Chains A and B, each alone.
Chain A
């Protein structure tokens, strides 16, 4: 992992920043998110991909791309979580007390 991080840290940073931005926006965004059903389906898909990556069943370049995608996605989610939490913190601090 350390090797991969040093190898393409730029892309990982981009994923984190992208996630951070998306998380920052999502707190104040109006409109509906994806439905609960979709969320479960996507979670299952991601879990299956993670399982495939950990089991190293996908060979060669596809295996590498899968690893790369999952790492970027994981960092994206982390970025989103941090961004959302921070935005929420900022919003709740500046909002007039109820």
Chain B
């Protein structure tokens, strides 16, 4: 031992090369060591959920900066780095992510994009919601502006995913989740969307509730366009169900005797109350126009076009609104078609025959009350009568052979008179018309079949 002590006084010269070695070792090993420790620290934190994680290493000292989502998570992150082999010190710059109170998350849809904002509880939730938004919105740009925060209610992810499904059903609007209450506003993309959203909200996870659902339905629109050139009536828009659809198309067929009905209607829920009746009335008014457009949007009816003569325009303007249910609005924009050129009596007769060949003036069964469906035909007959003001016209009523002949005679007279009265009411001079009833004495078809009888029940216009 004494010798070792004596010899050690002569060991100092080796310190010089040792210092040189140390300097080279320090020079060459520091950076690789730091890189290696940074990688090992990052690997140690792999299973720990952190946000904004930054690891920097100086020598063997690791500086860990990160936002943790719980105190336990924060401590375990620091501990994980401390036990990494080679780490001397951990400079702990971790903190907890701020707590959001109330915890608000929202999804807003405008014309071009969906913006997610507010708070998300974890990076994984953030990613999952973003992915779900992209999947359910197919092609719409999704912008994520959410920040991470603590304080989310339990089952937040499930609730938010369900709400993201609903944002796809909105044309525009906003869905907000504040703690456990949901508020919705905006406009549904399609008819029935509002109802679908309300139904889906019943599946919100336990503990969540709807504070306000102010989603509006898009306007319920029905349109009809009468095209005098193509001689068509085009129906587009929505009807409540198949029965209403069939009834509307049948009514259009009766009212528009010479036009072909083009049916582009589709069935959608959400029709306002009284929709079918209002549309049938409005179609009756449209049938009296030479050309026109009918637009029914929710409870507002717009009818524009040209009436065949002045009195018809006044009648439509004044009369149609009365047929609508309470709360409906009628906006007529009716002008009068320029009067057609006068023609002589022979041409007038031809025109009458042509019109009455296409359709018949129809009455209530067994009565002399003209049904509303015949208004369009009567307007055309009146327009024709106006073109030959000098001609006197016999309005001849005919019946089939069913029933008592005397009753048929009386009915034919009353029906002829009803038509004459209608014409006079439209502004034509009463002295031009004579109403004559022929009963069943002048059939134009056999009375053996229903078809023949229907042809025999008629009103003829005979120019005298």
Contact with B along A63-85 (1 / 0, CB 8 A): 11101110011001100110011
Measured CB to CB, the residues of B under 8 A from A are 3-4, 6-15, 17-18, 21-22, 24-26, 29-30, 33, 36, 58-61, 85-86, 88-89
- Minimum CB–CB distance from A26 to chain B (whole Å) comes to 4
| A67 and B18 form a contact (CB under 8 A) | no
Q: Which residue of B lies closest to A75 (CB)?
A: B18
Known: A64-B33, A68-B29. A14 touches B12 (CB 8 A): no
| A33 and B61 form a contact (CB under 8 A) | no
| B18 and A68 form a contact (CB under 8 A) | no
Please report the C-alpha to C-alpha distance between residue A72 and residue B26 in the assembled complex, in whole angstroms.
11
| A8 and B13 form a contact (CB under 8 A) | no
CB of A27 within 8 A of chain B?
yes
| B3 and A26 form a contact (CB under 8 A) | no
- Minimum CB–CB distance from B11 to chain A (whole Å) comes to 5
Q: Which of B14, B29, B30, B86 contacts A80 (CB 8 A)?
A: B14
CB of A29 within 8 A of chain B?
yes
**Which residues of A from 31 to 67 have beta carbons under 8 Å from B?**
31-34, 39, 56, 59-65, 67
- Minimum CB–CB distance from B30 to chain A (whole Å) comes to 6
| A63 and B4 form a contact (CB under 8 A) | no
* Count of residues in A whose CB is under 8 Å from the partner chain: 42
| A2 and B85 form a contact (CB under 8 A) | yes
| A18 and B14 form a contact (CB under 8 A) | yes
CB-CB under 8 A from B4, the residues of chain A are 81, 84-85
| B61 and A69 form a contact (CB under 8 A) | no
Q: Which of A11, A18, A29, A33 contacts B17 (CB 8 A)?
A: A18
Please report the C-alpha to C-alpha distance between residue A72 and residue B214 in the assembled complex, in whole angstroms.
76
Contact with B along A1-39 (1 / 0, CB 8 A): 011100110010011001101110111010111100001
Known: A26-B10, A56-B89. A67 touches B25 (CB 8 A): no
Known: A31-B10, A85-B4. 5 other contacts (CB 8 A): A11-B22, A26-B8, A68-B29, A73-B18, A73-B22
Q: Which of A19, A33, A59, A64 contacts B10 (CB 8 A)?
A: A33
Please report the C-alpha to C-alpha distance between residue A88 and residue B22 in the assembled complex, in whole angstroms.
28
